[in-house]
A and B are shown apart, each in its own frame.
Chain A
Amino acid sequence: MMAQNEIRLTGSGGQGLILAGIILAEAALLQGDNAVQSQSYGPEARGGASKSEVIISEEDIDFPKVNKADILLSLTQIAYDKYKKTTKESATVIVDSSIKIDETLKVGKVIRIPIIDTASNKIGKSIVSNIVALGAIQEETGIVKRGFLEKAVLNRVPAKFKDLNRKALSEGFNLIKE
Protein backbone atom coordinates (compact mmCIF):
# COMPACT_ATOMS: atom_id res chain seq x y z
CA MET A 1 0.00 0.00 0.00
CA MET A 2 1.22 3.49 -0.80
CA ALA A 3 2.23 5.83 1.97
CA GLN A 4 -0.61 8.16 1.11
CA ASN A 5 -3.92 7.38 -0.55
CA GLU A 6 -5.96 10.14 -2.14
CA ILE A 7 -9.62 9.36 -2.63
CA ARG A 8 -12.13 11.46 -4.50
CA LEU A 9 -15.83 10.65 -4.20
CA THR A 10 -17.99 12.39 -6.75
CA GLY A 11 -21.62 12.52 -7.75
CA SER A 12 -24.47 14.92 -7.41
CA GLY A 13 -25.38 16.87 -4.31
CA GLY A 14 -27.56 14.86 -1.97
CA GLN A 15 -25.99 11.50 -2.69
CA GLY A 16 -24.34 11.30 0.70
CA LEU A 17 -20.78 11.67 -0.53
CA ILE A 18 -19.74 13.89 2.34
CA LEU A 19 -20.95 11.28 4.79
CA ALA A 20 -19.14 8.61 2.81
CA GLY A 21 -15.94 10.64 3.05
CA ILE A 22 -16.37 11.10 6.78
CA ILE A 23 -16.97 7.38 7.27
CA LEU A 24 -13.86 6.49 5.29
CA ALA A 25 -11.81 8.96 7.29
CA GLU A 26 -13.12 7.59 10.57
CA ALA A 27 -12.38 4.05 9.49
CA ALA A 28 -8.82 5.10 8.75
CA LEU A 29 -8.48 6.66 12.19
CA LEU A 30 -9.80 3.49 13.79
CA GLN A 31 -7.08 1.48 12.13
CA GLY A 32 -4.43 3.86 13.40
CA ASP A 33 -3.85 5.93 10.28
CA ASN A 34 -4.15 9.66 9.75
CA ALA A 35 -6.90 11.06 7.59
CA VAL A 36 -8.13 14.39 6.31
CA GLN A 37 -11.58 14.80 4.82
CA SER A 38 -12.81 17.84 2.93
CA GLN A 39 -15.44 18.69 0.37
CA SER A 40 -16.43 21.31 -2.11
CA TYR A 41 -19.84 22.79 -2.41
CA GLY A 42 -21.52 25.80 -3.83
CA PRO A 43 -23.89 26.13 -6.74
CA GLU A 44 -22.30 23.02 -8.09
CA ALA A 45 -23.53 21.04 -5.12
CA ARG A 46 -27.17 21.43 -6.11
CA GLY A 47 -27.71 18.68 -8.64
CA GLY A 48 -24.49 19.53 -10.35
CA ALA A 49 -21.21 17.84 -9.63
CA SER A 50 -20.09 17.65 -6.01
CA LYS A 51 -17.11 15.99 -4.47
CA SER A 52 -15.90 14.79 -1.14
CA GLU A 53 -12.24 13.98 -0.64
CA VAL A 54 -10.32 11.87 1.81
CA ILE A 55 -6.59 11.49 2.22
CA ILE A 56 -5.43 8.48 4.20
CA SER A 57 -1.85 8.10 5.29
CA GLU A 58 0.32 6.39 7.82
CA GLU A 59 2.33 9.60 8.03
CA ASP A 60 1.27 13.15 8.89
CA ILE A 61 -0.76 14.74 6.12
CA ASP A 62 0.37 18.17 5.03
CA PHE A 63 -1.62 19.35 2.05
CA PRO A 64 -5.21 18.47 2.90
CA LYS A 65 -6.71 18.46 -0.60
CA VAL A 66 -6.59 15.72 -3.18
CA ASN A 67 -4.72 16.73 -6.28
CA LYS A 68 -4.52 13.64 -8.50
CA ALA A 69 -6.66 10.90 -6.98
CA ASP A 70 -5.56 7.33 -6.44
CA ILE A 71 -9.18 6.26 -6.21
CA LEU A 72 -12.02 8.01 -8.01
CA LEU A 73 -15.66 7.20 -7.43
CA SER A 74 -18.30 8.70 -9.72
CA LEU A 75 -21.99 8.14 -9.25
CA THR A 76 -23.23 10.43 -12.04
CA GLN A 77 -22.19 11.18 -15.59
CA ILE A 78 -21.82 14.88 -14.87
CA ALA A 79 -19.49 14.16 -11.99
CA TYR A 80 -17.49 11.66 -14.00
CA ASP A 81 -17.09 14.07 -16.88
CA LYS A 82 -15.99 16.81 -14.55
CA TYR A 83 -13.45 14.79 -12.56
CA LYS A 84 -12.32 12.01 -14.93
CA LYS A 85 -9.07 13.79 -15.74
CA THR A 86 -8.12 14.44 -12.15
CA THR A 87 -6.64 11.04 -11.37
CA LYS A 88 -3.17 9.57 -11.36
CA GLU A 89 -2.34 7.28 -14.24
CA SER A 90 -2.30 4.37 -11.84
CA ALA A 91 -5.67 5.18 -10.32
CA THR A 92 -8.57 2.88 -9.70
CA VAL A 93 -11.77 4.38 -11.07
CA ILE A 94 -15.07 2.99 -9.81
CA VAL A 95 -18.19 4.24 -11.56
CA ASP A 96 -21.86 3.45 -11.53
CA SER A 97 -22.94 1.26 -14.44
CA SER A 98 -25.08 4.11 -15.78
CA ILE A 99 -21.94 6.00 -16.71
CA LYS A 100 -20.26 6.00 -20.09
CA ILE A 101 -16.50 5.70 -19.73
CA ASP A 102 -13.98 7.78 -21.61
CA GLU A 103 -11.85 5.06 -23.17
CA THR A 104 -9.12 7.49 -24.18
CA LEU A 105 -8.05 8.17 -20.61
CA LYS A 106 -5.10 6.33 -19.14
CA VAL A 107 -5.89 4.96 -15.71
CA GLY A 108 -4.91 1.88 -13.76
CA LYS A 109 -8.28 0.17 -13.67
CA VAL A 110 -11.89 1.05 -14.40
CA ILE A 111 -14.72 -0.78 -12.68
CA ARG A 112 -18.33 -0.27 -13.70
CA ILE A 113 -20.82 -1.64 -11.22
CA PRO A 114 -24.55 -1.14 -10.64
CA ILE A 115 -24.17 0.82 -7.39
CA ILE A 116 -27.34 2.91 -7.65
CA ASP A 117 -29.39 0.06 -9.04
CA THR A 118 -28.28 -2.21 -6.22
CA ALA A 119 -29.25 0.40 -3.66
CA SER A 120 -32.60 1.30 -5.25
CA ASN A 121 -33.82 -2.08 -6.39
CA LYS A 122 -31.97 -4.79 -4.58
CA ILE A 123 -31.92 -3.09 -1.18
CA GLY A 124 -34.87 -0.85 -1.85
CA LYS A 125 -33.44 2.50 -0.73
CA SER A 126 -31.46 4.64 -3.18
CA ILE A 127 -30.23 6.70 -0.24
CA VAL A 128 -27.70 4.01 0.67
CA SER A 129 -25.90 4.22 -2.68
CA ASN A 130 -23.02 5.88 -0.88
CA ILE A 131 -22.65 2.93 1.52
CA VAL A 132 -22.82 0.42 -1.30
CA ALA A 133 -20.08 2.40 -3.00
CA LEU A 134 -17.95 2.32 0.15
CA GLY A 135 -18.28 -1.43 0.31
CA ALA A 136 -17.13 -1.69 -3.27
CA ILE A 137 -14.19 0.61 -2.67
CA GLN A 138 -13.09 -1.39 0.35
CA GLU A 139 -13.38 -4.73 -1.40
CA GLU A 140 -11.47 -3.52 -4.43
CA THR A 141 -8.72 -1.45 -2.85
CA GLY A 142 -8.45 -2.54 0.76
CA ILE A 143 -7.51 0.97 1.86
CA VAL A 144 -9.27 0.41 5.15
CA LYS A 145 -9.91 -2.91 6.83
CA ARG A 146 -13.43 -4.26 6.63
CA GLY A 147 -13.99 -4.38 10.34
CA PHE A 148 -13.08 -0.73 10.81
CA LEU A 149 -15.20 0.34 7.85
CA GLU A 150 -18.19 -1.45 9.26
CA LYS A 151 -17.67 0.09 12.68
CA ALA A 152 -17.36 3.54 11.12
CA VAL A 153 -20.56 3.07 9.11
CA LEU A 154 -22.54 1.95 12.13
CA ASN A 155 -21.21 4.88 14.19
CA ARG A 156 -22.62 7.32 11.73
CA VAL A 157 -26.05 6.00 10.93
CA PRO A 158 -29.20 6.14 13.07
CA ALA A 159 -29.78 3.03 15.18
CA LYS A 160 -32.93 1.99 13.34
CA PHE A 161 -31.05 1.90 10.04
CA LYS A 162 -28.07 -0.16 11.16
CA ASP A 163 -29.28 -3.34 9.50
CA LEU A 164 -30.06 -1.53 6.30
CA ASN A 165 -26.57 -0.09 6.14
CA ARG A 166 -24.92 -3.39 7.01
CA LYS A 167 -26.74 -4.89 4.09
CA ALA A 168 -25.73 -2.03 1.81
CA LEU A 169 -22.08 -2.47 2.75
CA SER A 170 -22.33 -6.17 2.13
CA GLU A 171 -23.88 -5.69 -1.29
CA GLY A 172 -21.03 -3.34 -2.07
CA PHE A 173 -18.49 -6.02 -1.25
CA ASN A 174 -20.42 -8.44 -3.44
CA LEU A 175 -20.42 -6.14 -6.44
CA ILE A 176 -16.66 -6.51 -6.58
CA LYS A 177 -16.45 -10.13 -5.60
CA GLU A 178 -18.72 -11.24 -8.43
Chain B
Amino acid sequence: MENNFKLMQGNEACVEGALYAGMRFYSGYPITPSTELMEKSAIRLPLKGGKFIQMEDEIGGIAAAIGASLTGLKSMTGTSGPGFSLKQENIGYAAITEVPLVVVNIQRGGPSTGLPTSPAQGDVMQAMWGTHGDHPVIALSPSSVREMFELTVRAFNLAEKFRTPVILLADEIVGHMREKIVMPKAGDLEVVNRKEPAPNNENYLPYAVDEDSYVPEIASFGNGYRFHVTGLMHDETGFPSNSTENAEKLIKRLMAKISENKEEIIDFEEYMTEDADIIILGYGGTARSVKSSVKALRKQGIKAGMFRPKTIWPFPEERVKELSKQAKAILVAELNLGQYVLEVERVIKNNCKLGFVGKANGEVLMPDEITAKAKEVL
Protein backbone atom coordinates (compact mmCIF):
# COMPACT_ATOMS: atom_id res chain seq x y z
CA MET B 1 0.00 0.00 0.00
CA GLU B 2 1.41 3.35 -1.07
CA ASN B 3 1.44 5.63 1.91
CA ASN B 4 2.83 9.05 1.30
CA PHE B 5 3.45 9.84 4.94
CA LYS B 6 6.65 10.92 6.59
CA LEU B 7 8.03 11.84 9.96
CA MET B 8 8.92 15.43 9.40
CA GLN B 9 10.16 18.34 11.44
CA GLY B 10 7.96 21.43 11.55
CA ASN B 11 10.54 23.72 10.01
CA GLU B 12 11.14 21.25 7.23
CA ALA B 13 7.40 20.99 6.59
CA CYS B 14 7.27 24.76 6.29
CA VAL B 15 9.85 24.70 3.50
CA GLU B 16 8.05 21.85 1.76
CA GLY B 17 4.81 23.81 1.97
CA ALA B 18 6.53 26.86 0.53
CA LEU B 19 7.90 24.86 -2.37
CA TYR B 20 4.47 23.36 -2.94
CA ALA B 21 3.05 26.89 -3.11
CA GLY B 22 5.68 27.80 -5.69
CA MET B 23 8.37 29.52 -3.63
CA ARG B 24 11.50 29.87 -5.73
CA PHE B 25 13.50 32.37 -3.68
CA TYR B 26 14.69 32.22 -0.10
CA SER B 27 17.02 34.65 1.58
CA GLY B 28 17.78 34.89 5.25
CA TYR B 29 20.26 34.70 8.07
CA PRO B 30 20.87 31.83 10.48
CA ILE B 31 19.10 32.11 13.84
CA THR B 32 17.96 29.44 16.24
CA PRO B 33 15.32 27.94 16.17
CA SER B 34 14.61 28.85 12.55
CA THR B 35 17.86 27.85 10.93
CA GLU B 36 16.46 24.63 9.47
CA LEU B 37 14.26 26.80 7.23
CA MET B 38 17.41 28.12 5.61
CA GLU B 39 19.24 24.85 5.52
CA LYS B 40 16.41 22.97 3.88
CA SER B 41 15.82 25.80 1.40
CA ALA B 42 19.52 25.78 0.52
CA ILE B 43 19.24 22.11 -0.38
CA ARG B 44 15.88 22.11 -2.15
CA LEU B 45 15.80 25.37 -4.09
CA PRO B 46 18.61 24.89 -6.60
CA LEU B 47 17.21 21.44 -7.36
CA LYS B 48 14.10 23.22 -8.59
CA GLY B 49 15.95 25.98 -10.41
CA GLY B 50 15.14 28.37 -7.58
CA LYS B 51 17.54 30.72 -5.86
CA PHE B 52 18.82 30.61 -2.30
CA ILE B 53 21.12 33.09 -0.64
CA GLN B 54 22.39 33.47 2.87
CA MET B 55 22.64 37.20 3.29
CA GLU B 56 25.07 39.11 5.49
CA ASP B 57 22.43 40.04 8.03
CA GLU B 58 18.73 39.81 8.81
CA ILE B 59 17.85 43.03 7.08
CA GLY B 60 19.65 41.92 3.94
CA GLY B 61 17.62 38.73 4.25
CA ILE B 62 14.24 40.41 3.97
CA ALA B 63 15.39 43.06 1.49
CA ALA B 64 16.62 40.49 -1.01
CA ALA B 65 13.34 38.58 -0.68
CA ILE B 66 11.34 41.72 -1.45
CA GLY B 67 13.57 42.48 -4.43
CA ALA B 68 13.10 38.97 -5.77
CA SER B 69 9.34 39.15 -5.29
CA LEU B 70 9.21 42.43 -7.20
CA THR B 71 11.01 40.60 -9.96
CA GLY B 72 8.35 37.90 -10.11
CA LEU B 73 9.48 35.11 -7.76
CA LYS B 74 7.47 33.87 -4.79
CA SER B 75 9.83 34.64 -1.93
CA MET B 76 10.26 33.76 1.71
CA THR B 77 12.48 34.74 4.60
CA GLY B 78 12.59 33.12 8.04
CA THR B 79 13.88 34.18 11.43
CA SER B 80 13.24 34.33 15.18
CA GLY B 81 12.77 37.16 17.69
CA PRO B 82 15.96 39.21 17.31
CA GLY B 83 15.80 38.93 13.53
CA PHE B 84 12.10 39.67 13.51
CA SER B 85 12.86 42.92 15.30
CA LEU B 86 15.48 43.82 12.71
CA LYS B 87 13.17 43.07 9.81
CA GLN B 88 10.39 45.39 10.94
CA GLU B 89 11.27 48.39 8.79
CA ASN B 90 11.20 46.35 5.62
CA ILE B 91 8.01 44.54 6.60
CA GLY B 92 6.41 47.98 6.53
CA TYR B 93 8.13 48.64 3.22
CA ALA B 94 6.58 45.51 1.70
CA ALA B 95 3.23 46.55 3.12
CA ILE B 96 3.22 50.01 1.56
CA THR B 97 4.75 48.89 -1.75
CA GLU B 98 2.30 45.95 -1.80
CA VAL B 99 4.85 43.25 -2.48
CA PRO B 100 3.84 39.62 -1.79
CA LEU B 101 6.14 38.14 0.85
CA VAL B 102 6.12 35.43 3.49
CA VAL B 103 8.05 36.12 6.70
CA VAL B 104 8.38 33.17 9.05
CA ASN B 105 9.02 33.83 12.75
CA ILE B 106 9.79 30.75 14.83
CA GLN B 107 9.26 32.42 18.18
CA ARG B 108 11.69 31.84 21.00
CA GLY B 109 12.10 33.22 24.52
CA GLY B 110 12.74 36.94 24.56
CA PRO B 111 13.30 39.76 24.91
CA SER B 112 16.65 40.32 23.19
CA THR B 113 18.82 37.20 22.99
CA GLY B 114 16.54 35.63 25.59
CA LEU B 115 16.24 31.85 25.42
CA PRO B 116 17.38 30.84 21.94
CA THR B 117 16.26 27.23 22.14
CA SER B 118 13.09 27.60 24.17
CA PRO B 119 9.59 28.24 22.90
CA ALA B 120 7.58 31.39 23.48
CA GLN B 121 4.72 33.33 21.95
CA GLY B 122 5.95 36.75 22.92
CA ASP B 123 5.97 38.30 19.47
CA VAL B 124 2.23 38.31 18.96
CA MET B 125 1.72 42.02 19.45
CA GLN B 126 4.94 42.74 17.61
CA ALA B 127 3.59 40.92 14.58
CA MET B 128 0.76 43.43 14.59
CA TRP B 129 2.56 46.58 15.68
CA GLY B 130 6.24 45.90 15.11
CA THR B 131 6.64 48.15 12.13
CA HIS B 132 5.90 51.83 12.50
CA GLY B 133 2.80 53.52 11.18
CA ASP B 134 -0.63 52.16 10.46
CA HIS B 135 -0.33 49.15 8.23
CA PRO B 136 -2.28 46.05 7.27
CA VAL B 137 -1.26 42.75 8.88
CA ILE B 138 -1.95 39.11 8.24
CA ALA B 139 -0.39 36.62 10.63
CA LEU B 140 -1.03 32.87 10.75
CA SER B 141 -0.31 30.47 13.62
CA PRO B 142 0.34 26.77 12.93
CA SER B 143 -0.27 24.15 15.64
CA SER B 144 1.17 21.05 14.07
CA VAL B 145 3.70 19.86 11.55
CA ARG B 146 0.89 19.43 9.06
CA GLU B 147 -0.14 23.02 9.58
CA MET B 148 3.46 24.17 9.14
CA PHE B 149 2.96 22.84 5.63
CA GLU B 150 -0.62 23.89 5.00
CA LEU B 151 -0.51 27.32 6.61
CA THR B 152 2.66 28.14 4.71
CA VAL B 153 0.80 27.36 1.50
CA ARG B 154 -2.02 29.56 2.79
CA ALA B 155 0.43 32.30 3.71
CA PHE B 156 1.71 32.39 0.15
CA ASN B 157 -1.80 32.37 -1.24
CA LEU B 158 -2.83 35.30 0.94
CA ALA B 159 0.38 37.17 0.14
CA GLU B 160 -0.16 36.69 -3.57
CA LYS B 161 -3.85 37.52 -3.54
CA PHE B 162 -3.64 40.57 -1.34
CA ARG B 163 -0.14 41.73 -2.24
CA THR B 164 0.98 42.04 1.32
CA PRO B 165 3.61 40.55 3.63
CA VAL B 166 2.14 37.61 5.56
CA ILE B 167 3.74 36.52 8.80
CA LEU B 168 3.81 32.86 9.71
CA LEU B 169 3.95 33.19 13.47
CA ALA B 170 5.15 29.79 14.61
CA ASP B 171 7.00 28.79 17.75
CA GLU B 172 9.87 26.52 18.71
CA ILE B 173 7.49 23.77 19.81
CA VAL B 174 5.96 23.36 16.39
CA GLY B 175 9.12 24.33 14.53
CA HIS B 176 11.28 21.66 16.05
CA MET B 177 8.96 18.77 16.75
CA ARG B 178 8.71 15.82 14.42
CA GLU B 179 5.32 14.45 13.60
CA LYS B 180 3.55 12.40 11.01
CA ILE B 181 2.52 14.27 7.93
CA VAL B 182 0.82 12.98 4.85
CA MET B 183 2.35 14.95 2.01
CA PRO B 184 -0.29 16.60 -0.16
CA LYS B 185 -0.02 15.81 -3.84
CA ALA B 186 -0.10 18.44 -6.55
CA GLY B 187 -3.65 19.71 -6.82
CA ASP B 188 -4.70 18.70 -3.30
CA LEU B 189 -4.25 22.21 -1.97
CA GLU B 190 -5.15 25.43 -3.74
CA VAL B 191 -2.23 27.53 -4.95
CA VAL B 192 -2.87 31.18 -5.79
CA ASN B 193 -0.69 33.32 -8.04
CA ARG B 194 -0.55 37.09 -8.11
CA LYS B 195 -2.45 38.86 -10.85
CA GLU B 196 -0.23 40.58 -13.33
CA PRO B 197 -1.46 43.18 -15.79
CA ALA B 198 -2.12 42.47 -19.44
CA PRO B 199 0.75 43.65 -21.62
CA ASN B 200 0.88 46.70 -23.83
CA ASN B 201 -1.46 48.87 -21.84
CA GLU B 202 -0.39 52.40 -22.66
CA ASN B 203 -2.27 53.74 -19.69
CA TYR B 204 -0.85 51.28 -17.21
CA LEU B 205 -0.78 52.52 -13.63
CA PRO B 206 0.92 50.09 -11.26
CA TYR B 207 -0.96 51.20 -8.16
CA ALA B 208 -4.40 51.77 -9.62
CA VAL B 209 -7.19 49.49 -8.44
CA ASP B 210 -10.49 48.44 -9.94
CA GLU B 211 -13.56 49.78 -8.22
CA ASP B 212 -14.50 46.62 -6.38
CA SER B 213 -10.99 45.46 -5.66
CA TYR B 214 -8.46 46.77 -3.24
CA VAL B 215 -5.48 45.09 -4.83
CA PRO B 216 -3.40 46.65 -7.61
CA GLU B 217 -1.97 44.59 -10.46
CA ILE B 218 1.70 45.38 -10.28
CA ALA B 219 3.87 44.11 -13.11
CA SER B 220 7.10 42.32 -12.31
CA PHE B 221 10.30 44.17 -13.09
CA GLY B 222 11.63 43.49 -16.55
CA ASN B 223 8.30 42.41 -18.05
CA GLY B 224 7.78 45.39 -20.30
CA TYR B 225 6.38 48.00 -17.96
CA ARG B 226 8.76 50.54 -16.51
CA PHE B 227 7.51 52.17 -13.35
CA HIS B 228 8.64 53.42 -9.98
CA VAL B 229 8.24 51.73 -6.62
CA THR B 230 8.93 53.67 -3.43
CA GLY B 231 8.34 53.43 0.30
CA LEU B 232 7.23 57.06 0.32
CA MET B 233 3.51 57.69 0.18
CA HIS B 234 2.69 57.41 -3.50
CA ASP B 235 -0.17 57.73 -5.88
CA GLU B 236 -1.50 55.42 -8.56
CA THR B 237 1.52 56.07 -10.74
CA GLY B 238 3.82 54.78 -8.02
CA PHE B 239 5.59 58.12 -7.75
CA PRO B 240 5.88 59.93 -4.44
CA SER B 241 3.06 62.17 -3.36
CA ASN B 242 2.75 63.92 -0.03
CA SER B 243 -0.66 65.45 -0.62
CA THR B 244 -3.07 64.97 2.27
CA GLU B 245 -5.73 63.69 -0.06
CA ASN B 246 -3.49 61.07 -1.57
CA ALA B 247 -2.06 59.93 1.75
CA GLU B 248 -5.57 59.50 3.11
CA LYS B 249 -6.63 57.54 0.06
CA LEU B 250 -3.62 55.23 0.11
CA ILE B 251 -3.58 54.43 3.80
CA LYS B 252 -7.30 53.77 3.83
CA ARG B 253 -7.07 51.46 0.85
CA LEU B 254 -4.16 49.55 2.37
CA MET B 255 -6.09 48.97 5.55
CA ALA B 256 -9.31 48.13 3.72
CA LYS B 257 -7.45 45.61 1.60
CA ILE B 258 -7.36 43.42 4.68
CA SER B 259 -10.31 44.63 6.75
CA GLU B 260 -12.80 44.36 3.89
CA ASN B 261 -11.62 40.83 3.20
CA LYS B 262 -11.59 39.68 6.81
CA GLU B 263 -14.12 36.96 6.27
CA GLU B 264 -12.00 35.32 3.65
CA ILE B 265 -8.81 35.73 5.62
CA ILE B 266 -9.89 34.78 9.15
CA ASP B 267 -9.72 31.10 9.97
CA PHE B 268 -10.05 29.20 13.22
CA GLU B 269 -10.76 25.79 14.70
CA GLU B 270 -13.35 25.06 17.37
CA TYR B 271 -13.42 21.95 19.50
CA MET B 272 -16.43 21.20 21.71
CA THR B 273 -17.50 24.82 21.98
CA GLU B 274 -21.20 24.32 21.25
CA ASP B 275 -22.21 23.66 24.86
CA ALA B 276 -19.08 24.85 26.59
CA ASP B 277 -19.23 26.74 29.85
CA ILE B 278 -15.59 27.63 29.59
CA ILE B 279 -13.87 28.22 26.30
CA ILE B 280 -10.11 28.04 26.29
CA LEU B 281 -8.42 30.09 23.62
CA GLY B 282 -5.00 28.92 22.51
CA TYR B 283 -2.93 29.15 19.34
CA GLY B 284 0.23 27.67 17.91
CA GLY B 285 2.05 25.07 19.99
CA THR B 286 0.05 26.02 23.08
CA ALA B 287 -3.16 24.86 21.43
CA ARG B 288 -1.88 21.29 21.80
CA SER B 289 -1.83 21.75 25.57
CA VAL B 290 -5.24 23.39 25.44
CA LYS B 291 -6.84 20.51 23.58
CA SER B 292 -5.40 18.04 26.03
CA SER B 293 -6.73 20.14 28.90
CA VAL B 294 -10.20 20.38 27.36
CA LYS B 295 -10.38 16.61 27.10
CA ALA B 296 -9.26 16.25 30.71
CA LEU B 297 -11.84 18.77 31.91
CA ARG B 298 -14.61 17.03 30.03
CA LYS B 299 -13.61 13.76 31.70
CA GLN B 300 -14.08 15.56 35.00
CA GLY B 301 -17.54 16.66 33.98
CA ILE B 302 -16.66 20.23 33.16
CA LYS B 303 -18.00 21.54 29.88
CA ALA B 304 -14.88 22.91 28.31
CA GLY B 305 -14.19 23.79 24.72
CA MET B 306 -11.29 25.11 22.66
CA PHE B 307 -11.19 28.06 20.31
CA ARG B 308 -8.03 28.06 18.22
CA PRO B 309 -7.32 30.99 15.91
CA LYS B 310 -5.36 29.93 12.84
CA THR B 311 -5.18 33.54 11.73
CA ILE B 312 -3.85 35.55 14.65
CA TRP B 313 -4.23 38.82 12.76
CA PRO B 314 -6.77 40.01 11.77
CA PHE B 315 -8.27 39.15 15.14
CA PRO B 316 -11.37 36.90 14.84
CA GLU B 317 -13.43 39.52 16.61
CA GLU B 318 -16.91 38.48 15.59
CA ARG B 319 -16.61 34.85 16.56
CA VAL B 320 -14.88 35.59 19.85
CA LYS B 321 -17.62 38.06 20.70
CA GLU B 322 -20.29 35.46 19.89
CA LEU B 323 -18.58 32.88 22.05
CA SER B 324 -18.34 35.34 24.92
CA LYS B 325 -22.11 35.67 24.87
CA GLN B 326 -22.77 31.94 25.06
CA ALA B 327 -20.09 30.78 27.49
CA LYS B 328 -19.65 31.58 31.17
CA ALA B 329 -15.95 32.17 30.83
CA ILE B 330 -13.10 32.44 28.37
CA LEU B 331 -9.60 31.46 29.39
CA VAL B 332 -6.73 32.63 27.23
CA ALA B 333 -3.61 30.47 27.29
CA GLU B 334 -0.44 31.76 25.70
CA LEU B 335 3.31 31.55 26.17
CA ASN B 336 3.76 35.13 27.22
CA LEU B 337 2.69 37.34 30.08
CA GLY B 338 -0.50 38.52 28.43
CA GLN B 339 -0.66 39.75 24.85
CA TYR B 340 -3.45 38.19 22.81
CA VAL B 341 -5.62 38.24 25.91
CA LEU B 342 -5.68 42.03 25.60
CA GLU B 343 -7.52 41.70 22.29
CA VAL B 344 -9.96 39.24 23.80
CA GLU B 345 -10.55 41.60 26.70
CA ARG B 346 -11.17 44.49 24.36
CA VAL B 347 -13.67 42.55 22.32
CA ILE B 348 -15.70 40.64 24.92
CA LYS B 349 -16.03 43.57 27.30
CA ASN B 350 -18.10 42.18 30.17
CA ASN B 351 -19.99 39.50 28.33
CA CYS B 352 -18.40 36.74 30.37
CA LYS B 353 -15.56 36.10 32.79
CA LEU B 354 -12.06 36.35 31.39
CA GLY B 355 -9.10 34.40 32.66
CA PHE B 356 -5.47 34.20 31.65
CA VAL B 357 -2.77 31.60 32.03
CA GLY B 358 0.66 32.30 30.64
CA LYS B 359 4.36 31.78 30.98
CA ALA B 360 7.48 33.41 29.67
CA ASN B 361 10.19 31.30 31.25
CA GLY B 362 11.02 29.01 28.36
CA GLU B 363 8.77 26.18 29.45
CA VAL B 364 5.64 25.12 27.65
CA LEU B 365 2.22 25.39 29.27
CA MET B 366 1.31 21.98 30.67
CA PRO B 367 -2.25 20.74 30.21
CA ASP B 368 -2.52 20.42 34.01
CA GLU B 369 -1.73 24.08 34.50
CA ILE B 370 -4.43 25.07 32.06
CA THR B 371 -6.91 22.68 33.63
CA ALA B 372 -6.24 24.07 37.09
CA LYS B 373 -6.66 27.61 35.91
CA ALA B 374 -9.87 26.77 34.07
CA LYS B 375 -11.40 25.41 37.24
CA GLU B 376 -10.30 28.50 39.10
CA VAL B 377 -11.87 30.81 36.57
CA LEU B 378 -15.22 29.08 36.49
A38 partner, pick from B115, B177, B366, B367, beta carbons under 8 A:
B177
Say whether B178 contacts A37, CB under 8 Å.
yes
Q: Does B83 contact A (CB under 8 A)?
A: no
Contact A22 B7 (CB under 8 A): yes
A98 to B5, CA, bound (A): 39
Which one, A58-66, A71-79, A105-113, A130-138, is touching chain B?
Answer: A58-66
Q: Known contacts A42-B117, A42-B118; is A36 also within 8 Å of B178 by CB? A: yes
B294 (CB) vs chain A CBs: closest residue: A62
With an 8 A cutoff between CB atoms, is A139 at the interface? no
Q: Hey, which chain B residues are within 8 Å of A65, CB to CB? A: 173, 364, 366
Q: Are B177 and A36 in contact (CB under 8 A)?
A: yes
Docked Cα-Cα span, A70 to B53, in Å, equals 44
Closest to A65 in B: B364
**Number of residue pairs across A and B with beta carbons under 8 Å?**
56
Instruction: For B306, give the chain A residue with the smallest CB separation.
Output: A62
Cross-interface CB contact of B179 among A36, A41, A42, cutoff 8 Å: A36
Q: Which residue in B116, B180, B288, B289 is a CB contact (below 8 Å) of A29?
A: B180
Interface contact B7-A63, CB-CB below 8 Å: no
For residue A141, CB closer than 8 A to chain B, the reply is no
Q: Is B90 an interface residue (CB 8 A)?
A: no
Given contacts A22-B7, A37-B7, contact A63 B289 (CB under 8 A): yes
B194 CB–A CB distance under 8 Å:
no
Q: Is the CB of A34 within 8 A of B180?
A: yes
Kindly provide the distance from the CB of A37 to the nearest chain B CB, expressed in whole angstroms.
4
Q: With the chains together, A161 CA to B160 CA distance in Å?
A: 46
Which residues on the B side are within 8 Å of A116 (C-beta)? Answer: none
Q: What 0/1 readout, one digit per residue, does chain B (290-316) give for beta carbons within 8 Å of chain A? A: 011001000000000000000000000
Chain B 258-296, CB-CB to A under 8 Å as 1, else 0, gives 000000000000000000000000000100110110010
Q: How far is the CB of A148 from chain B (nearest CB, A)?
A: 12
Contact A41 B117 (CB under 8 A): yes
Determine if A38 and B178 form an interchain contact, defined as CB atoms under 8 angstroms apart: yes
Contact with B along A12-53 (1 / 0, CB 8 A): 000000000010011001000011111111100000000000
| Cα distance, A46 to B364, chains bound together (Å) | 22
Whether A38 pairs with B295 at a CB distance below 8 angstroms is no
A172, B115: Cα distance in complex, Å: 37
A22-B7, A25-B178, A29-B5 known; A62-B291 Cβ under 8 A: yes
Q: How far is the CA of A64 from the CA of B176 in the complex (A)?
A: 11
Distance of A149 Cα from B374 Cα, bound (Å): 41
**Lowest 9 A-B CB distances belong to which pairs?**
A63-B292, A62-B292, A37-B178, A62-B291, A38-B177, A42-B117, A26-B7, A36-B179, A41-B117
Interface residues of A (CB under 8 A from B): 22, 25-26, 29, 34-42, 61-65, 67
